[in-house]
A = this chain, B = another copy of it.
Amino acid sequence: DLAQAVVEHFQTGELAGLNVLLNAGPTRENIDPVRYISNHSSGKMGFALAQACVEAGAHVTLVAGPVYMPTPSGVERIDVVSAREMADAVLSRSAQADIFIASAAVVDYTPVEIAENKIKKNASQMQLILVKTIDILTSVATQGSATFCVGFAAETDNLEAYAKDKLEKKSLDMIAANWIGRKNVGFNSENNALSVYWKGGEQELGYMPKSELARELVTLIAKRYHEKNTT
């Protein structure tokens, strides 16, 4: 029966019994009560990955920025707005995660202070001082836990070099890289292609719908995760 099938699934899937933590979507950094800085990110890839992880038998927690997406069945979702809120939600859960997939497009510079009231426009120019937000992925990867960390790189240029550099600098277990600013791939697109790198290996996942791409990436993550944890 169905209940039995679900039980078997959680016992036999590629990620059976594992806790997977993901973040997805953009964050929003308020300048004042009216204006904000954000990133072009639909959250589609992250939500597709969350669903693929559930289908692979994992317990899935998804920390989502402001996106207009339904929650995949079986996923525990935590909604956040700012990079600071996303960091808090992720870092308070990452010690319990076997795998962390950082698919969110976290805004990396935030206004040094948020104006309490709407800034009136008088000057012809305005100078905004931004400070770096906390690097969530680096914080998880370096917190000393055994979490298997998967990062993303979205680049307009030098994709492979930037991705490999990020893999090494952030001590990641795997990085998935995709082009942006090109036709029919990346942000808001229904399809995408990924170049996946890890220490000593790489694999191209060709142009396909994000749901299929998510399943292929999850298979790759599961394979590398089990290799790492049996050697």
> Which chain A residues have a beta carbon within 8 Å of chain B's beta carbons?
31, 33-40, 68, 105, 107-109, 112, 116-118, 121, 123-132, 154-157, 180-181
Contact of A132 among B108, B121, B127, B132 (CB under 8 A): B121
Minimal beta-carbon separation of A71 from chain B (angstroms): 17
Which residue of B has the minimal Cβ distance to A117?
Answer: B156
Q: Give the oligomeric copy count.
A: 2
Q: Are B39 and A118 in contact (CB under 8 A)?
A: no
Q: Are B127 and A108 in contact (CB under 8 A)?
A: no
The CA of A28 and the CA of B35, in the complex, are separated in Å by 10
Q: Which residues does chain B contribute within 8 Å of A156, judged by CB atoms?
A: 33-34, 116-118
- Given A68-B68, A109-B121, A155-B118, A34:B127 Cβ within 8 A: no
- Given A117-B156, A127-B130, A131-B125, A36:B35 Cβ within 8 A: no
Q: Which residues does chain B contribute within 8 Å of A39, judged by CB atoms?
A: 34-36
Q: Which residues does chain B contribute within 8 Å of A154, judged by CB atoms?
A: 34, 118
